[in-house]
Structures are given as C-alpha cells and as structure tokens.
Amino acid sequence: MDSSPAGTPSPQPPRANGNINLGPSANPNARPTDFDFLKVIGKGNYGKVLLAKHKSDGMFYAVKVLQKKSILKKKEQSHIMAERSVLLKNVRHPFLVGLRYSFQTPEKLYFVLDYVNGGELFFHLQRERRFLEPRARFYAAEVASAIGYLHSLNIIYRDLKPENILLDCQGHVVLTDFGLCKEGVEPEETTSTFCGTPEYLAPEVLRKEPYDRAVDWWCLGAVLYEMLHGLPPFYSQDVSQMYENILHQPLRIPGGRTVAACDLLQALLHKDQRQRLGSKTDFLEIKSHVFFSPINWDDLYHKRLTPPFNPNVAGPADLKHFDPEFTQEAVSKSIGCTPDTMASSSGASSAFLGFSYAPDDDAILDC
C-alpha cells in the first residue's frame, strides 16, 4: 500500500533558504502537552494517528503525528507541505476532513484534525464483504462530490481507496489523507508522477503517460466495483499480473447488478482516459449518469439524505470501528513531549517553515 513520490506541488509556494515556506508560523503556542493522547487509531509511513483530548476544552481530535527524521530521509517534505496546503482548502466541503490547526516540535509534526469514528470504508467492507447498490451509490456520490470539489480547486487527489474513506458518527463519508495530491493542475493540463496504490492505479499511470484528473474517476470506478463485488476490479495477489490485468484484461462484471451500475462501471473503468466518464466535463458527467438518478445532489451536499448505515457509536471513546491492531498498541510517551525536552534534529526545524497553522477564531467549526 506504499505510494511513490507525488512531486512538488504546483504552483510552488515561496521558498526560504531552499526550503518550502508557506509563511510565518501562525500557531506558535500550541504544543503536545496541550493534549491527552488516548489511543492509536491509525498508522502510516511516517507516523501515527491518535485519538487525543484537548486538556483545556475537553474536545476530541484525531492528531496525526509525523516523524521529521523519516520524512527528511525519504526527501518527502514537499508531500507533507502539499497535504497541509490541501487541508487548508477543505474547510468548506462536508465530505473532506478538516484541519483545525497544525504545529511542530524539533522532531515531530502535528496535524490536529476532525475526529471521525465511524470507521474506514475498508473496515466495513472487510466485515460485510460487499454492499447493496443503494448503499454503494450513497458512498460513491459523497466521494464524487468531494473529488469534484478538489478538481474545482485544480487539485488531483490520486490515492482514492477504501482505507482513505472514513465514515463519521452519522454514516457520512469523510475523505482523508492528502499526501499524494497534486495542486495547480488546470483542466487541460497533465502531470506524470508515478504514484498511487497498486490495486487502484489507472492504466495511463502504469503506462507512465501524462495523465489528468480522469485518474480520480478511474479510482472511483475501482472503489465502487469493490463495494459491489468485494474485490478491486483487476485484483491479483501477484502485483505484476494485476498490472497486466489493468492494462489489458477486459472488465468483467459479475451478474446480479443493475444495467445502470454495470454501465457506470464500464464508463469509469474505461482504459482510454480520453473516453472515460468525467474526462470532458468532470464531475458534471458523473452527476448526470443514470446510476445516480435517485440522488438529489443539493440534499446530498447539505447532508439532508439519511445515510444507509448508522455506525451507532456511543461517543468519542467508542472505538469499535477501529482495527484492534491499532487501538491495542501502546501510546508512546514521546508523542506528548514538550519541545524543550526533545533534542533538535539537525535541519529539521528549517525544513518545514510555515507548517504551523491556526485559523481565525471565527473560522473554527463546532464539532
């Protein structure tokens, strides 16, 4: 599930001393000791995501804690700053996780995010194997709305998969993890970095051809297929065989699905990106497909549609939809250390200039 480098965001932010600089630190007073770190709820290449309770106001957050040393070793500072940049643009969309603020210590970076405890879509798919069409349609519509919003900001997401789709406590979709996003891609422009997750890579990415935002609609098709059938469309345990399947094998759709569902899957999983649904007018084409005719998109956006599944969580401390592999892991004491108790990593502080962020008081949303 590892992803390759996504490239430097474009347009590029101003730089200071050769390092990415998004402006002065706007949140200089935040520190790890502001929180009680309660449980590990996720893990990634460079750190962990923890359930944390703010000591002063009692609010619960998901805090993504990243190790600067690991990021610098792999020269992926630009990914982290791109993720921060995209997160700052998510505040106005209901199906994208929100960044409350961010801060850093000499050794670590901290993203303070909306806490979402309905579970990963991947977790629910593993448990239930597949979803009925109405449930899959609801999730696909909310995801498409989020992707369409990112595209409207000239951002390609590039890593859509069930692990990055969370459910909130009511059952609505929350898209997360923006480390592979590519910013500044105009509608007619392309990019070429090889990145993503093997099961969901579009053919043009595998062919190492220039690609555009249509890669995200391929991924939507792959995720919808998996929701309906239990596995990604061209899946094989042999990755090289899976790549061969993606490139050359015709799409096989098992029986029992409606004509509309089959047609949408064929249209999203078209191997020619120029013929793929969404390649011309983007999200408008997705919205107009007959599969989504039961969806009132305005009601969907404003969360007036009742989700088909209620996670039934008892409160923030209810972690039944998180993998025990994470929640049973001990929380490292170093995560809550204050900056002055930690040795400064050489060059680490200057490499993430402008990472810290705090919104205006009136921009903070209620949980």
Annotated catalytic residue within 34, 114, 159, 212: 159
Is the N-terminal amide bond of 11 cis, ω within 30° of 0? yes
Report the length, in residues, of the chain.
Answer: 367
Distances (CA, A) of 318 to 19, 111, 360: 41, 22, 31
Contacts 24+ apart (CB under 8 A), 162-165: 162/120, 162/121, 162/122, 162/125, 162/223, 162/226, 162/227, 163/1, 163/120, 163/121, 163/122, 164/120, 165/120, 165/121, 165/122, 165/139, 165/223
The Cα 90–Cα 4 span in angstroms is: 24
Contact 47, 108 (CB under 8 A): yes
The Cα 311–Cα 320 span in angstroms is: 9
H or E segment to which residue 247 belongs: helix 239-248
159 given a catalytic annotation: yes
Token pair in block for residue 148:
């369409």
Is 73 annotated as belonging to a binding site? yes
H or E segment to which residue 43 belongs: strand 35-43
With left for phi above 0 and alpha for psi between -120 and 50, is residue 263 left, alpha or beta?
alpha
H or E segment to which residue 243 belongs: helix 239-248
Handedness of CA 35, 38, 39, 41 (dihedral sign): negative
The Cα 231–Cα 84 span in angstroms is: 31
**Residue set of the binding site:** 73
Catalytic residues: 159
**Residue set of the binding site for ATP:** 73
